[in-house]
Amino acid sequence: MGDLGSAYEASGELARAEEAYRRALALDPDFADLRLRLGTLLLRRGDAAEAEAEATQALRVQPNRQALLELQQASRKTRLGASR
């Protein structure tokens, strides 16, 4: 399911990709890598708050992971920028 999401994402079908990621996460909620992919996708689509939530949740499973920290930081920055 995660791979399907990546394929949709690569072909630009972001909504389908998001749906595939969410389905995969429903089956395996601790799959941090999927959360990273979903969070990145959400940030691309402009949903910074949810992207940050995904990053935060993934960091509980993969603490300290650079890519997740960067996603969290970028999401937060975008979210704060938007709120100003």
Partner 1 sequence: MIRFILFLLARLAVGSVCLLTAAYATLNCSTFAFDMFIRPQLFPWITSFVNWHHIWSFGAFALSVPTLATAFGWRAANRGRQRWAFLSAVAYAVAVGACVARLFYSPLLPTLWGDWRSLPVAVAALVPLVWLSVIDHLVASPLNMRRRWSYRPAAGQGRLLLACTIAGGSIWAGHLVLAACSAPPSGDEVRVWLVTAVWTLALTAGASAVVYAVLGTKLAAAARSRRPWWWHHLLAVMLAALAISEFLRRAVLPTISVPPLPAATVAVMAGISLAALGAGLAVRRPLRRLSGRSTAPAAPPGGVSRWAAPAAALLALPWLTSGLPGLLAPWDWAFVGQRLLIICETACALTLAMRLARERAVHRNSPHLALVPPLAALALLVAVPHAALRMAGWTGDRRIEPASAFEQHAAAIPLFRFAADLLVARPGFDGEYYRFLQARAAGNTDPLSIPEMAFPTTASRAEGRRPDIYLFVIDSLRRDYLSPYNHAVTFTPSIEAFSHGSFVFGNAFTRHGATQLAAPSIWAGAAVVRGVLAPGFERLNALEAFVNAEGYRLAINDFTVASYLRSTTSATFLDPGIPSVDTDLCRNLDSLVAYLDGSASDSRPVLAYLSPMNLHILRTRGGGGRDSAGDSRGFYPPYVSALKRIDACFGNFVSALKARDRYDNSIIVLTSDHGDSLGESGYWGHATWLFPEVIRLPLVVHVPDALREMVTTDLSRLAFTSDLVPTLYALRGHRVDHIGQPYGAPLFVPKTCVVEDDRRRSSFLLTSSYGAAFGLLRRNGRQLYVTDLVERREFAYDLTRGPLGRPGQVSPEMRRLNERIIRQEVEAIEGFYRFRGPARNPAEGGKTGARASASSCGEGGF
Nearer of residues 11 and 28 to partner 1, judged by Cβ? 28
Task: Name the segment binding partner 1 (CB under 8 A); options: 5-13, 14-22, 45-53, 60-68.
Answer: 60-68
DSSP-assigned states of every residue in 36-60:
HHHHHHHHHTT-HHHHHHHHHHHHH
d(CA 76, CA 9): 23
**Residue 31 in contact with partner 1, rule: CB under 8 A:** yes
How many Å is the maximal CA-CA distance in the chain?
37
Question: Rounded distance, CA 78 to CA 60, Å?
Answer: 22
Name which position in 22, 23, 44, 60 contacts partner 1 (CB under 8 A): 60
Is 63 among the residues that bind partner 1 (CB under 8 A)?
A: yes
Contact set for partner 1, span 9-28 (CB under 8 A): 28
Q: Which residues bind partner 1 (CB under 8 A)?
A: 28, 30-33, 60-67, 69
